[in-house]
Structure 1
């Protein structure tokens, strides 16, 4: 037993002579490790929740109206050039955007009101 206490004392870098202090040091170390493990598990759960909530695919909603259409695009992250890409796609499809609201701060949101270009 004495040898084991000496080993524990050397691991903990504790030079306190009483056996009780070595056991107390080891007990405190174990409690600290348990607490760190619990914090890491909580962080792991929180990170997993954020990943599960994160959806990399943009949401697209199209509604037809008498005057034309309403298109809503929502992406949880803003990509450089996404707005230009969407506007070029509208042009290729022959859609005329009459009014649009765009936000590119943290996420990307676009709400466009328009109609089909009629070629006479």
Structure 2
């Protein structure tokens, strides 16, 4: 007899906890609705978890794509034939030599350069163009030549 009472008390505690966790609005007499609302609550949690997983995977894909992109930014400095060149590439391959060879082929002099290989290849350089070549060399010409030089190193 005491065993039945203990079971009943234990069952009531468990149902009370389940009702509290599932935010069930069921009355005390309707024990069948508590498990139903709990199942609905668990299903909603499962759907929310799946949407969070999808969002997380999309964020990871975006980050990987940004890291893989080869970025070459060239800006013309006012008052002369100078350009600021910023290059950001993924790690791997020897990129510095082909980039410097591309500068040499264009007839551009590297006046100042900073190169880093931590977390990928990064280069920031100030390049100057001779006065007679200023009309031939522009931002798009430099950008295309550098992208071609970088592409040859990744192949």
For this structure pair, what is the TM-score category when the shorter chain's length is used for normalisation?
A: 0.5 to 0.7
* Residues 1:106 and 2:151 aligned together: no
Partner of 1:87: 100
Aligned residue runs from structure 1 range 33-48, under 5 A? 33-47=46-60
Distance 2:46 2:128 in 1: 63
- Written as runs of structure 1 = structure 2, the 5 A alignment for 1:14-33 is 23=35, 27=39, 29-33=42-46
* Structure 1 unaligned spans of 5+: 1-18
Partner deviation per Cα, 1:53-81 (whole Å, 9 max, x = no partner): 56724223142566752331232534421
Q: Which runs of 5+ in 2 are unaligned?
A: 1-30, 132-155
- 1:61 has 2:74 as partner: yes
Distance of aligned partners of 1:79 and 1:62 in 2 relative to their CA distance in 1, 3 Å threshold: farther
Matched, 1:71 2:84: yes
Q: Kindly provide the CA deviation profile for residues 54-110 of structure 1, in whole angstroms up to 9, marking residues without a partner as x.
A: 672422314256675233123253442122210111122232323211122224332
Q: Identify, as 1 or 2, the structure richer in helix.
A: 2
Q: TM-score, normalised by structure 2?
A: 0.44
* Matched-pair contact (CA < 8 Å) for 1:56–1:76: yes
* Structure-2 separation of matches of 1:57 and 1:75: 6
| Equivalent pairs, count | 100
- Structure 2 residue aligned with 1:5: none
Please list the CA deviations of residues 22-46 of structure 1 after superposition, one character each: whole Å capped at 9, or x if unmatched: x46x716524522421322331442
